Structure 1
Amino acid sequence: MTEAELLAECKTGLNIPLASTGFDGVLRQKLLAVKGYLLGAGVSEAKLDTDLAVGTIVVGVTDLWNIQSGEIRFSPVFLTLATQLATASLPQS
């Protein structure tokens, strides 16, 4: 999935009109942070292009969108989905 498609999915998840571009820069930053987190957690590039990954990225971006001053954390559902993706990325024996 392209960055533009992921950005559109995040906008949909946040109820931001797709034609609106006012938040694109901030959303891209959060999108890159979430993807970087998932890669660092052991999610393979191949798994980042799955439906589960798209949903997980949207949840993660939403979590970062709703942060309070001095408090940044991912929701338990994001962490559960990230774990599932990382586990699915492990080599099969």
Structure 2
Amino acid sequence: MSLNSTQLKHVAHLSRIAVDEAQVPAMLEDLNAILAFAEQLQDPRLDNLAPMAHPLDQTQPLRPDLVTEHDERARLQAGAPAVERGLFLVPQVIES
């Protein structure tokens, strides 16, 4: 699919985009290139491809899932002006 200048101006009007006559050839070239790229995705050879997590055939090295930090809530909240049930209390900023 490719657009002509009449269709481009119609789409620009519907989109409320001002397009100068001098911009039309460049915009047509850009939009037609985008549409040509989108048409490549309709290739039937792409129908049976499995989704990929990464474009390279690599595995992600993972670290062991071990606890490395200890609970220091009481020490960190010791200097807080107000704490309730383990949570910092802050002044209300939004009126209800």
Give TM-score scaled by structure 1 length.
0.33
Q: Which has the higher helix share?
A: 1
Instruction: Give the alignment's TM-score, normalised by structure 2.
Output: 0.33
* Greater RCO structure (CA 8 Å; 6+ sep): 1
